Amino acid sequence: MPSTTSSAVSERAAYLRAAEQLKGNAGQWAAYESKAHCVVLAGPGSGKTKTLAAKVARMLAEDVHEPRGLACITYNNECARELEDRLAALGVEPGGRVFIGTVHSFSMTQIILPYAKTAKLGLPDNVGVATETQRNRALAAAYESTIGGPGNPDEMSFPLSNYRRTHIDRTAAAWRDTSPRMAALAEAYEAELRAQGVIDFDDMPRLAFAALKQNAWLGQALLAKFPILVVDEYQDLGTALHRMVLGLCFKAGIRLFAVGDLDQSIYGFAGAKPGLLHKLSERDDVETIQLKLNYRSGTKIVAAAQAALGEDRNYKAADDDTVSDVFIERLAGNYLAQARALINTLLPKALERHEDLSYKNVAVLYQAAWVGDEVFAAAAAAGIPTVRSDKKSLYPKTSRLMQWLEQCSHWCCDGWKSGKPRFSRLARDGQRLFAQALWGEAQVLAFHRQLLACLWERRDGAVRLTDWLDAVEAAVVDPMAAACPDLNDEIEAFTAFAARVSDGGPHSGMSLSEFAGVGDFGDRLTLSSLHSSKGREFDIVFLFGADDQRLPAGAENRRLFYVGFTRAKREIHLTHKIGSPSPFVKEVEAHLAAADDD
């Protein structure tokens, strides 16, 4: 029976209250009520994370007896963090019974590190995660030994990674037959990594799959710990995860609850295959549920988005009275001239129509970072503050360490007063981040105390960011880093960011408040690549540079266009150079014309 302690009763009450909010939506309620393998096909703005959180809390309370738990695999750290926040509101904290993380983290912490020796994976003792420097060194040596001659080894990095992600089963004939050259390069590259005592991110799911395939007992060991496996954003997680799911859930007996959207699969370059979710959803032993109500966008945007998709999914706005609009903007000149028109004319007019909104409610989305440079230049010339989420951002937005430091900065900028975020959250996330260095209760307590002392002394948003970073690095990051090899790339990203904001760096003089994006620095226009916009929402969206050259016809480009389109709540603006609209813009325009005729 579930625990009857006061804490357990409180948690149960929290998820039952959350469940009440699902009853008015047939799809959400069906997902919540599911009993066996279940796939939820969730359209944009369909409340899938709310549904997922309530379902996870219910399964922990009703279906899984302590000390067993469940594992939840997400696409990236940002998705994991959002789910953690939702679960925390329901009284469910990660750790112990609950694993929440990426497929790479699951592979590393739940399979490779605990079972590498017994599963005979052939890895060195105390294996670590390769840094970018180590990966480059290994690739250069492998290139020299297998291909040789003139050429740039770096040009092989992407095709090598793609080949390794596509062919995860090294026992299959396709591994060598498809491209003997790439197979030889991959094997030499991996041997070079092992000589350095490390593996890379592509290794993680592949090695986990190999361990499961070669050791039937391993699936049973995971079943004993995690009788339920939850997968979010299934369409983005690729072949390795799909093969693991088939083995763990349909052979070892772990129950599956998966959520995804075929139409939002935009990471084909990274190995994502939306067809895998489609195959999963069609299995006879899987209950498939669709979420069709959109709680984000107004009716006009929801209807036009299906025209952008080229498919009628029968999606409906949850509130028919929500006002929204779609604009086709034809702009003259090069991208800089178009960006100036957007910033100086289109943006002010949009904000005039919505007096309750400001820059923080608006996003400009584009296909490539260099296009974003032109928007950034135009915004800077107009004195509009911006925050970028693309390859030109100050630091990688997917970095766990940098996300954690940003939250720490929020706490120092009056968050300690408001409880947003709570210090307990910072301590818990830091503990998970530096888990390899914190083995016992005494170490964990010492870490919490050191973190609190460091942040408490620096509760001032006006302090120079470089001084704050130096203090946090000395007191918290450096003492942990040596014992956390899986953070090597994170440390490199932190070091690069610290250099940018230090004296003499391109962003010297930045304050802690500016880094945290609070106070006078909170009202910033978001500039984002289309890929980085996934999972986010804004009242007003400008899909900039929707030209035939930047977004030509093609299935993945259509899905990318659709993802950008469905970020909008009230207004979506499709901008293109006069005379060269993307074919997807033409389809939306035809839909709008037909709707006007009706």
The binding site for ATP comprises 42-49
d(CA 391, CA 197): 30
- The H-assigned helical ranges of 332-461 are 335-341, 347-353, 369-381, 400-410, 416-418, 423-433, 441-456
- The H-assigned helical ranges of 107-215 are 113-115, 132-146, 157-166, 173-177, 180-195, 203-214
528 φ, ψ to 5°? -145, 145
334-339 LR contacts (CB < 8 Å, sep 24+):
334/374, 335/371, 335/374, 335/545, 336/374, 336/377, 336/378, 338/374, 338/544, 338/545, 338/575, 338/577, 339/374, 339/375, 339/377, 339/378, 339/379, 339/544
95: left (phi over 0), alpha (psi -120 to 50) or beta: left
Q: What is the DSSP letter of 138?
A: H
Give the residue ranges of the annotated binding site.
Answer: 42-49
d(CA 283, CA 50): 25
Handedness of CA 227, 231, 234, 239 (dihedral sign): negative
Tell me the HSE value of 475 on the side-chain side, using a 13 A CA sphere.
Answer: 20
- Sheet strand arrangement including 386-389: 325-331, 568-577, 538-543, 362-366, 525-529, 386-389
CB 92 within 8 A of CB 98: yes
Residue with tokens 């092992």: 194
